[in-house]
Amino acid sequence: MATNATMTIRIDADLKRQAEAICEEMGLTMSAAVTIFTKRLVKDRAIPFRVTAGDPFYSETNQRHLQAAAQRMDAGTENTYIHS
């Protein structure tokens, strides 16, 4: 028989409340939900859902780059050439 272990994680308090409410609606505890996730992770050796970074255009790095380019253009120090 398997022995139980305790996991301690940090999570945003509001996110935790929302997740607990959803689990309660489903008749689950947070512990059961995490156990389901973990069993699937081990069985499939993969996260059981697709994890993506979203549209790279909106990444913080690209937004900083675009903001800096816009500031250079406003200052007249940036020249943009369009080749067709």
**For residue range 15-34, what is the model confidence (pLDDT) as tens digits?**
999 999 999 999 999 999 99
Q: Does the residue 2 lie in any domain?
A: no
Q: Does the residue 28 lie in any domain?
A: yes
Which residues of the chain have a pLDDT value below 50?
A: none
Measured between alpha carbons, how far is 68 from 20 in angstroms, rounded to an integer?
42
The reported pLDDT for the residue numbered 43 is: 97
Q: Whose structure tokens read 């067709």? A: 84
Tell me if 30 sits within 8 A of 18, measured CB to CB. Answer: no
Q: 49 lies in which domain range?
A: 13-75
Q: Does the residue 7 lie in any domain?
A: no
For residue 2, give both structure tokens.
């398997």
Q: Does the residue 45 lie in any domain?
A: yes
Q: Does the residue 29 lie in any domain?
A: yes
The reported pLDDT for the residue numbered 80 is: 64
pTM of the entire structure? 0.59
Half-sphere exposure for 29 (CA within 13 Å, toward CB):
3
Q: How many domains does the chain have?
A: 1
Q: Does the residue 6 lie in any domain?
A: no
Q: Does the residue 61 lie in any domain?
A: yes
Beta-carbon contacts of residue 78 (< 8 Å; ≥ 6 apart): 69, 72
